[in-house]
A and B are shown apart, each in its own frame.
Chain A
Amino acid sequence: MKLVEAEALRIEKASKTLWVAEFSVAEKLRGLPFEFAMIWVKGVDEIPLSIAWLDKQIVGFIFKIRGEGTRALSSIKRGDRVLMKIPLGKGFAPPSGTKILLVAGGVGIAPAPLLAKYCREVGCTLTIVWGVKSSDELCSPSSIWLDGVDLEVATEDGSQGFRGTALDLAMRIARDGVFDYVVAVGPRAMLRAFCREFPRDKCEKLVALETMVKCGMGMCGSCIVKPLPKLLCIDGPVFSCSEVMRHLELSNS
């Protein structure tokens, strides 16, 4: 983990619901898929965001405006600076030669570009299923570093691609294909449904969770994945369905 000063290159609305924030940093960074950063929007709030892409001295994030912190991030200008703790978490680094299916709901697409890059580098096969309510929530693959990636789209209203949820489409794809890892990331209800319903023969089922991250460094304890003795900021955010099923059932948001 490093504390780095980052300068905004590009902050823009990429779809009806999603924003992109890209920064340049003074030193070369490294990070694994699903690792995240704590971004201090100076004087406002410090918030955890997944690293969406990372290329030498450029780091990007995809986010949705939820409250004060994300709103402040969306309103910073090119040249403005933020301070970030990066990388945090344990990440997810599948071995080379494996086949991976990523099931992303909404802003759950955020960790996809870094996973795609990692898979190109180590030689994993990646299929991404991205589900949203309607096509106006999608953004062009090139604007979020997803060019040339096997990306299947599902919209609940059928306005683009498959009509249905990301999970519906992923189940269909998994019927015809074999995957070593299937990773779901998105709203809690989707993760719960995924862990309950997705067939688990021949694959390891994983989810990327969100809990309240206040320090990101394993000190404050706010990110504990109850009732597990695990800290999201140290051991996560990716966990196997079998270990977090009770956690997902306990929390009903």
Chain B
Amino acid sequence: MSSPILRVDVASLILTHPIMNASGILGSEPEHIDVMASWGLAAIVSKTITPEPREGNAPPIIMPLRNGGFINAVGLANRGKKSVKELCNRAKKLGIPLIISIGGSSSKDFVDVAEEAERCGANAVELNLSCPHTPGYGIEIGFDPSTVFRVVKDVVGVLTIPVIVKLGLSDRVVESAGKALEAGAKALTLINTIRAMAIDVHSARPLLSNIFGGLSGPPIHPIAVRVVYEVYKEYQPDIIGCGGITTWEDAAEIILAGAKAVQIGSALALGRARFVVQGVLRGLVRWLKELGLRSVAEAVGLAHRR
């Protein structure tokens, strides 16, 4: 049997394989794009860009946890809309697809950066409707299905490039997913970090300067799998699975739940990115063969079979 096909079509993008980075791992400077291009990703997702520059929070902003996860409150540090052009130009030069992640506190903010992304030649945009720790940016929008509908509709209305919508964990995530699709989203990225907190027991102080942060890494993987499964079951849309993916088994699991592609965040830390991407890809090839499948596409949502 010939080698299984890793190529996937997701959100109208044709990717050489299913792995991209999750937004927020580098991705705010053109030099970051160079670094990330050397990791072997099929596409790069930028740091969430807001219309105006944001300084971000004071350290500690990211801490490793005893359970193998991370807690972060970077605070959406980015150079604002004016950085989009440099990011796009660098990705074009390197020949790698670029998805611009966008953050904002109103429909207008999202439209503003999205138009800039399209003008500069981004391959798609990902609306971050789910940052769990920056007040006014994200989760308040993602939690309310009718607001999701309005923001997505407004952005889709002015763009021709695909719009991906990134949602986080909430009681109404399935409903929000439905609204995003109804408003014209080409794909959903599920999930973002989960609002959390860590306290240093010796000093009785919160670990992060921001007090609250987003939980990422292996501890959230089963939650991501569950959310992907539920949303796929309801609508069978294009899903980009994200949350705790570290090994090929993690990627395989979320693909079986319904994801067509995956994003890896925390596992790319500490200089391990290239190794992790290669490991996941090799493992996926072996696994598809073992299951007798010809492509990633054939594995998508298989866990729903009765």
Does A146 sit at the interface, judged by CB under 8 A? Answer: no
A230 touches B35 (CB 8 A): yes
Nearest chain B residue, comparing its CB with the CB of A224? B31
Contacts of A230 in B (CB 8 A): 31, 35
Contacts of A226 in B (CB 8 A): 29, 31
Smallest CB–CB gap between A83 and chain B, Å?
Answer: 6
A231 touches B77 (CB 8 A): no
Q: In whole angstroms, how far apart are the Cα atoms of A229 and B70 in the complex?
A: 25
Which of A42, A81, A228, A229 has the most chain B CB within a 10 Å cutoff? A229
Does A9 sit at the interface, judged by CB under 8 A? Answer: no
- Asked whether A229 and B270 contact (CB < 8 A) given A42-B200, A45-B59, A221-B27, the answer is no
A221 touches B64 (CB 8 A): no
Binary CB contact string for chain B from 195 to 231 against chain A (1 if under 8 A, 0 otherwise): 0000010110101000000000000000000000000
Binary CB contact string for chain B from 36 to 66 against chain A (1 if under 8 A, 0 otherwise): 0010000000010000000010111111100
A215 touches B200 (CB 8 A): no
Does B189 sit at the interface, judged by CB under 8 A? Answer: no
B62 touches A222 (CB 8 A): no
A221 touches B62 (CB 8 A): no
Per DSSP, chain B at the interface is loop
B270 touches A221 (CB 8 A): no
Partner of B271 from A85, A218, A225, A229 at Cβ < 8 Å: A218
Contacts of A83 in B (CB 8 A): 200, 207
Contacts of B120 in A (CB 8 A): none
Per DSSP, chain A at the interface is loop
- Total of A-B residue pairs, C-beta within 8 Å: 90
B202 touches A81 (CB 8 A): yes
- Asked whether A217 and B202 contact (CB < 8 A) given A3-B64, A45-B59, A224-B29, the answer is no
Smallest CB–CB gap between A43 and chain B, Å?
Answer: 5
- Asked whether A217 and B205 contact (CB < 8 A) given A226-B29, A226-B31, A228-B31, the answer is no
Q: In whole angstroms, how far apart are the Cα atoms of A222 and B77 in the complex?
A: 9
Q: In whole angstroms, how far apart are the Cα atoms of A5 and B47 in the complex?
A: 31
Per the 8 Å Cβ criterion, residues 1-57 of B in contact with A are 24-29, 31-32, 34-35, 38, 47, 56
Contacts of B74 in A (CB 8 A): 214-215, 220
A220 touches B77 (CB 8 A): yes
Q: In whole angstroms, how far apart are the Cα atoms of A230 and B25 in the complex?
A: 14
B64 touches A217 (CB 8 A): yes
Nearest chain A residue, comparing its CB with the CB of B65? A3
Partner of A229 from B28, B34, B58, B72 at Cβ < 8 Å: B34
Contacts of A124 in B (CB 8 A): none
What residues of chain B have their CB less than 8 Å away from a CB belonging to chain A? 24-29, 31-32, 34-35, 38, 47, 56, 58-64, 70, 72, 74, 77, 200, 202-203, 205, 207, 266, 268-271, 273
6 closest pairs, A vs B, by CB?
A: A229-B34, A46-B59, A42-B203, A221-B26, A215-B62, A234-B271
What residues of chain A have their CB less than 8 Å away from a CB belonging to chain B? 1, 3, 5, 38, 40, 42-43, 45-47, 81, 83, 85, 214-215, 217-222, 224-231, 234-235
Ordered by A's residue number, 6 sampled pairs between the chains whose C-beta atoms are within 8 Å are A81-B202, A83-B200, A214-B61, A220-B56, A221-B28, A224-B35
